């Protein structure tokens, strides 16, 4: 059909039957979502509006749907459709009981254009099937079976929905009442490889178009490529060197220099030129640091300016709010009218809200500054401990140096005292008084130095004690961390540790295969357990019994212990094929005779 779904191409259908009931035919065509047309093509209802169907709940078919591959929504089950009798040339279709539930259908396959039609009369032919279903659209192929069903493939997907409308109709060939000439149609979706292949091809085409569209969008929004970098030459090198000295052209020149170095233009001949250019680039470091510092200073000044302005605004708001509060006192409040009091109270609330918002903003700025300062001061606790320890070590070293210097000074003073004593005998008696005074002064200085030295030694001992305490705390923390890690590692770690412990025990030469009292207890318990199991038991069964007594016991530990005691325990294979199993048995009585 030309319009794709609103009208039927009835002119191409050789149907010349008389229309006994035009109203019923118009109702049936309207239920299919088509404009009611006569057999010769004239409209039965000249005032028919395709957008307003005569039957409630059946949406009109959009002509754009075939092109887009969109299938119209199915009829809601809670809205029953009134179906009419449909008269064809060779048969008549009677509608089902409207009170019965709608016929069930399977899930619609993607791109479905094929329907299954069951319940055909035994005497039904392909011409009759074509006559009935050609009203729904162009039929491409009909595959009829001998068991009263067939498959019909349409040209478009929306035609399948029209064919599903005929599901439940009773068909009668001519006016015959024979059972072979009657049947109840059951129309359902069918899964065909051709439909799926066409649908996949269509999806691939749409995906290609979408990729092409996205590529065009990306190319449209892609930034233009940078200009190409010129090749290295002595002339270009001098040009770039001049640009590197200019602040405005520095960025362009540094990109060119970087490209030349990455290309491998540096050799023995050009090394000096490149070094001079790198030196020119390095001279800009101080300029950039100064610019950054200037910008940071401007930012800090702007912050301070904003804080000052905000604090001034808050002061003015406080004064306004104070005016409102003073006006709200009884001395002045009684002289205002009711409307004036209302306005003053509203203005007071608004001013307080705005003041609180600005105050919160100012407090937030101050809080951020405090947090920044605290972040700079506060460091990681482990780093704090390390810094404290390093500070104590440095203090101890400083005290040692001070102690040594004081000792040297003390030795120097002692030497001076000895020299003074020697000179005292030679000097005259007139100078004895001055010498004695000097001696007293030196002795006092010496005593003071000794006291100071004792204090320094005491401080040194205290610092050493503190350092030892810090080291002990550090060792305790490390041991606690290791214990926590061992506890978190779980039973797997315990098993691994036991294997590691057992493996060196096996390597070390020893006369006794049992190494500890714990292993002796394990041997006794395993022997008792296997003695009551004369046919043996698997290692997993034995370990499950032992783990009830001690959850830390692992399979590897038990198996290593049992393999060491070959005269007490013996491993045997039992079963055939897939049921092959290793079992341990107790052979202590036989081993006693052998040993």
Tens digit of each residue's pLDDT, the chain (595 residues): 333 333 333 333 333 334 444 555 455 555 545 555 544 445 544 444 444 443 444 444 444 444 444 445 555 555 556 788 888 888 989 999 888 888 888 899 999 999 999 999 988 888 899 989 998 999 999 999 888 899 999 999 999 999 998 999 999 988 877 888 889 999 999 999 999 999 999 999 999 999 999 999 998 888 877 778 888 999 999 999 999 888 888 888 988 999 999 988 899 898 999 999 998 898 888 888 999 999 999 998 998 899 888 888 888 988 998 898 888 888 888 888 888 888 989 999 998 899 899 888 888 888 888 887 766 655 555 556 566 677 777 778 878 878 877 887 787 778 778 777 777 766 666 666 777 888 888 888 888 888 888 888 888 988 888 888 888 888 888 888 888 877 766 554 444 444 544 544 444 444 677 778 888 888 888 988 888 888 888 888 899 888 888 888 888 888 888 888 888 888 888 776 667 788 888 888 877 777 6
Q: What pLDDT score does 101 carry?
A: 87
Distance from C-alpha of 254 to C-alpha of 282, rounded to nearest angstrom? 11
Instruction: Find, among 563, 566, 560, 527, the residue nearest to 545 by Cα.
Output: 527
Instruction: Find, among 392, 407, 484, the residue nearest to 453 by Cα.
Output: 407
Distance from C-alpha of 497 to C-alpha of 266, rounded to nearest angstrom? 59
Q: What pLDDT score does 188 carry?
A: 94
Answer whether 86-201 and 517-592 agree in fold: no
| Sign of the torsion formed by the C-alpha atoms of 99, 103, 107 and 112 | negative
pLDDT tens by residue, 534-586: 888 888 889 988 888 888 888 888 888 888 888 888 888 877 666 778 888 88
* Helix 271-282 vs helix 250-263: crossing angle, to nearest 10: 140
Q: In Å, how far from its chain's centre is CA 410? A: 72
Q: Which two tokens stand for residue 103?
A: 């016929």
Distance from C-alpha of 533 to C-alpha of 63, rounded to nearest angstrom? 84
Q: What pLDDT score does 425 carry?
A: 67
Q: In Å, how far from its chain's centre is CA 354? A: 41
86-201: CATH topology is Alpha-Beta Plaits (3.30.70)
CATH number for domain 517-592, candidates 1.10.10.10, 1.20.200.10, 3.40.190.80, 2.170.150.70: 1.10.10.10
Is the pTM of the predicted complex or chain greater than 0.95? no
For residue 582, what is the enclosing H or E element? strand 581-586
Q: What pLDDT score does 159 carry?
A: 93
CB atoms within 10 A of CB 286: 9
Residue 62 has phi, psi (to 5 degrees) of -80, 130
Q: Which two tokens stand for residue 220?
A: 């449209």
Question: Following CA atoms 319, 323, 324, 328 in sequence, which dihedral angle do they give, to the nearest 10 degrees?
Answer: 140
Question: Following CA atoms 318, 324, 328, 333 in sequence, which dihedral angle do they give, to the nearest 10 degrees?
Answer: 150
Distance from C-alpha of 595 to C-alpha of 592, rounded to nearest angstrom? 5
Where are the chain's structural domains?
A: 86-201, 234-301, 308-368, 517-592
Helix (H, G, I), strand (E, B) or coil at 274: helix
Instruction: Find, among 588, 590, 594, the residue nearest to 562 by Cα.
Output: 588
Q: What pLDDT score does 203 carry?
A: 94
């Amino acid at each position: 059909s030309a319009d794709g779904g609103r009208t039927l191409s009835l002119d191409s259908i050789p149907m010349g039957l008389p229309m006994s009931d035009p109203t019923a035919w118009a109702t049936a065509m309207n239920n299919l979502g088509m404009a009611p047309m006569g057999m010769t093509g004239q409209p039965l209802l000249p005032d028919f509006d395709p957008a307003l169907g005569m039957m409630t709940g059946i949406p009109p078919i959009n002509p754009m749907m075939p092109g887009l591959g969109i299938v119209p929504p199915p009829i809601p089950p809670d809205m029953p459709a009134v179906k009419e009798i449909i008269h064809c040339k060779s048969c008549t279709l009677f509608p089902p009981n409207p009170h019965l539930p709608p016929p069930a259908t399977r899930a619609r396959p993607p791109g479905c254009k094929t329907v299954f039609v069951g319940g055909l009369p035994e005497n039904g032919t392909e011409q009759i099937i074509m006559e009935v279903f050609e009203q729904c659209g162009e039929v491409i192929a009909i595959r009829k079976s001998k068991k009263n069903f067939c498959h019909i493939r349409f040209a478009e997907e929306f035609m399948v929905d029209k064919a599903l409308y005929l599901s439940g109709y009773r068909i009668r060939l001519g006016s015959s009442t024979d059972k072979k000439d009657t049947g109840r149609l059951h129309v359902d979706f069918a899964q065909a490889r051709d439909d799926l292949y066409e649908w996949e091809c269509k999806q691939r085409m749409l995906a290609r178009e979408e990729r092409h569209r996205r590529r065009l969008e990306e190319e449209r929004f892609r930034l233009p490529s940078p200009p190409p970098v010129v090749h290295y030459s002595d002339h270009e090198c001098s040009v770039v060197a001049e640009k590197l000295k200019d602040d405005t052209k520095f960025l362009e020149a540094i990109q060119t220099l970087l490209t030349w170095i990455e290309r491998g233009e540096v050799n023995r001949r050009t090394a000096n030129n490149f070094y001079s250019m790198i030196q020119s680039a390095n001279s800009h470091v101080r300029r950039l640091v100064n610019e950054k510092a200037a910008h940071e200073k401007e930012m800090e000044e702007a912050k301070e300016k904003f804080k000052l302005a905000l604090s001034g605004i808050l002061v003015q708001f406080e004064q306004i709010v104070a005016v409102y509060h003073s006006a709200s006192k009884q001395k002045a409040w009684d002289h205002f009218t009711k409307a004036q009091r209302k306005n003053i109270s509203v203005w007071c609330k608004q001013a307080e809200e705005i003041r609180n918002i600005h105050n919160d903003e100012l407090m937030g700025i101050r809080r951020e500054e405090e947090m920044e300062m605290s972040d700079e001061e506060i460091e990681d606790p482990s780093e704090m401990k390390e810094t404290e320890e390093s500070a104590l070590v440095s203090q101890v070293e400083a005290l040692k140096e001070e102690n040594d210097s004081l000792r040297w000074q003390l030795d120097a003073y002692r030497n001076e005292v000895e020299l003074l004593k020697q000179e005292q005998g030679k000097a005259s008696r007139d100078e004895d008084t001055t010498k004695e005074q000097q001696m007293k002064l030196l002795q006092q200085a010496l005593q003071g130095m000794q006291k100071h030295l004792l204090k320094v030694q005491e401080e040194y001992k205290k610092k050493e004690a503190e350092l030892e305490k810090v080291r002990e705390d550090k060792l305790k923390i490390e041991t606690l961390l290791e214990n926590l890690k061992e506890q978190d590692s779980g039973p797997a770690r315990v098993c691994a540790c036991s294997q590691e412990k057992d493996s060196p025990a096996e390597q070390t030469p020893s006369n006794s295969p049992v190494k500890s009292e714990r292993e002796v207890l394990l041997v006794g318990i395993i022997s008792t357990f296997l003695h009551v199991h004369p046919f043996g038991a698997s290692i997993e069964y034995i370990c499950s019994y032992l783990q009830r007594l001690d959850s830390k016991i692992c399979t590897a530990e038990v198996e290593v212990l049992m393999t060491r005691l070959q005269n007490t325990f013996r491993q045997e294979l039992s079963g055939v094929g897939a049921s092959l199993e290793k079992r341990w048995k107790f052979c202590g009585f036989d081993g006693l005779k052998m040993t």
